[in-house]
Amino acid sequence: MNLVLLEPSECAVDGRARLEDHRATHVLQVLRAGPGATLRVGIVDGPMGEATIESTEGGVVTIVCRFSAAPPRPRVDLLLALPRPKVMRRLWAQLAALGVGRIVLTNAERVERHYFDTHVLDAVTYRPLLVEGLQQARDTHLPLVSVHRQFRPLVEDELDGLCPSGDRLVADPAAARTIREAVGANAADRVLIAIGPEGGWNSFEMRLLEAHGFTAVGMGRRTLRTDTACVAILALVGDALRSSS
Amino acid sequence: MNLVLLEPSECAVDGRARLEDHRATHVLQVLRAGPGATLRVGIVDGPMGEATIESTEGGVVTIVCRFSAAPPRPRVDLLLALPRPKVMRRLWAQLAALGVGRIVLTNAERVERHYFDTHVLDAVTYRPLLVEGLQQARDTHLPLVSVHRQFRPLVEDELDGLCPSGDRLVADPAAARTIREAVGANAADRVLIAIGPEGGWNSFEMRLLEAHGFTAVGMGRRTLRTDTACVAILALVGDALRSSS
């Protein structure tokens, strides 16, 4: 935990907050911090800053926070064909750590229907995992999440509302154009990257994406599993955006 | 499984091989392939090619292989401070899939000693995981693996023998130089990238690495967990090498 993240409701107007859960345990047992020590803190979807520990009596850590600016909002959004629940569970924290503005989960021909019937898609499950990723990466921007059981209505009717601006890329092992070439050529402010299921998008899905502004990009001849591909591709998009700006 | 990988001993001189294990199950139940169908095959540390299924009687898949060239050897080597066993177990297949020539696992101050006492570091455990990653990514080059319980003798005495040529980079969240700038500036044939433990290398370790030719490289302001960092950094190094050659 490289940042202690607070919910807006947890921080009083005078900057005081009480930690009693795993964050208190982390402060006391991992950081071994006591009264007077400073911590990096942030508010979910708000600013970051520093906190001074006021007391640690009875395992309750009381801190006084001074906030400065909010970190920049991640410039990448992700359209992801829903992977199986075990993989999705592992991905939440990693996606938040890598920095994603919006996570749009979708069906596709090669997504099994029962993948949708899992508590891994319940906010009560994934929100703490997203927060864990933000605390790891020192960010406060909680990714927005939506789940779509129908691919075509999503792409045709809903996606423009969810992701109104920026470049659209779709990962395709067969594509010769690299992520960097595609991002560098346009230097848009945001990038929406689509990553298909194990086995790939079918040809209808790929055509529909291309008809809605997605450019196919590759990353060499290796075929990666969804979770590895997500991390690798988000790293490449992030790097391309940083160096094009 | 995008490639059926065979051990050299499994393939007869006439190109015939018998699959009876999970590879046979995969061919029959996932690919639903029967006699006459073709498969992508490879030999561990050898060439890739195509195989024709001759028979599938009794669940034993007999194939006849025709090999062509070996894939190019991965140009990245990894010096990794040993992560905890659960993380290391998940990394093996991902590292092989991303393409790593050599995996050098090392101790560091912030590595807990008991991490070394795990069967995750036994070849009998990790070799099938590496093979799984190669079959995913369609590669035949099994990463070479060595485990080092002492950091200083490794860096001072052994590393030049293990990784004699190429650029040396060390991931450092504080570094301003990007991976692409470092790789592009030299355009070496190989890159050895060092990735530290959760919490980072200590200052002695970082100085020792820099004294032995490692250049610090960063990838933005986000701090990632070891497993996410490995995938992200290997993707960036691979991309930089591809575009510099």
pTM comes to 0.94
Q: Which of A3, A135, A239, A244 to mutate to test the interface with B (most CBs of B within 10 A)?
A: A239
Separation in Å, CA of A59 to nearest CA in chain B: 24
Tell me the pLDDT band of A186, cut-offs 50, 70 and 90. Answer: low
> Least CB-CB distance to B97: which of A219, A222, A235?
A222
Give the Cα separation of B28 and B9 in Å (integer): 23
Give the Cα separation of A96 and B4 in Å (integer): 35
Summarize the confidence of residues B161-181 as an average pLDDT: 93
What ipTM did this prediction achieve?
A: 0.93
Q: In what order do the strands lie in the sheet containing A214-217?
A: A144-148, A102-106, A76-81, A191-195, A167-171, A214-217
Give chain A positions within 8 Å (CB) of B139: 222
Question: Mind listing the pLDDT tens digit for each residue in B81-137?
Answer: 999 999 999 999 999 999 999 999 999 999 999 999 999 999 999 999 999 999 999
Query: For all residues of chain B together, what is the average pLDDT?
Result: 94
Per-residue pLDDT at B186: 67
Q: Which of A224, A227, A245 to mutate to test the interface with B (most CBs of B within 10 A)?
A: A224
pLDDT tops 70 at residue A39:
yes
Rounded to whole angstroms, what are the CA distances from B225 to A35, A194, B83, B230? Answer: 28, 24, 10, 9
Task: Please give the share of chain A, as a percent, with pLDDT higher than 70.
Answer: 98
Query: For all residues of chain A together, what is the average pLDDT?
Result: 94
Instruction: Reduce the DSSP state of residue B184 to 3 states and report it.
Output: helix
Give chain B positions within 8 Å (CB) of A224: 97-98, 136-137
- List, as one string, the DSSP characters of A156-181: IIIHHHHS-SSEEEEE-TT--SBHHH
Burial tier of A165 (Cβ tally within 10 Å: 0-12, 13-18, 19+): exposed
> Least CB-CB distance to B243: which of A94, A180, A234?
A180
Per-residue pLDDT at B144: 98
Specify the residue for token string 């993380």. Answer: B87
Q: CA-nearest residue of chain A to B133?
A: A224
Give the Cα separation of B47 and B131 in Å (integer): 15
| Chain B positions with Cβ closer than 8 Å to A | 2, 71, 93-94, 97-99, 136-139, 178-180, 219-225, 228, 231-236, 238-239, 242-243
> Least CB-CB distance to A236: which of B136, B139, B236?
B236
Rounded to the nearest 10°, the torsion over CA B141, B142, B143, B144 is -120
Specify the residue for token string 């208190």. Answer: A24
Separation in Å, CA of B243 to nearest CA in chain A: 9
Give the Cα separation of B81 and B48 in Å (integer): 32
Per-residue pLDDT at A188: 77
Could you give phi then psi for residue B146, rounded to 5 degrees? -140, 150
Question: Mind listing the pLDDT tens digit for each residue in B126-169?
Answer: 999 999 999 999 999 999 999 999 999 999 999 999 999 899 99
Task: Please give the share of chain B, as a percent, with pLDDT higher than 90.
Answer: 89
Question: Mind listing the pLDDT tens digit for each residue in B57-75?
Answer: 999 999 999 999 999 999 9
Give the Cα separation of A54 and A56 in Å (integer): 7
Q: How long, in residues, is chain B?
A: 245
Which tokens in the block code for residue B92? 């093996």
pLDDT tops 70 at residue A198:
yes
Q: How long, in residues, is chain A?
A: 245
Summarize the confidence of residues A197-220 as an average pLDDT: 95
Summarize the confidence of residues A172-180 as an average pLDDT: 91
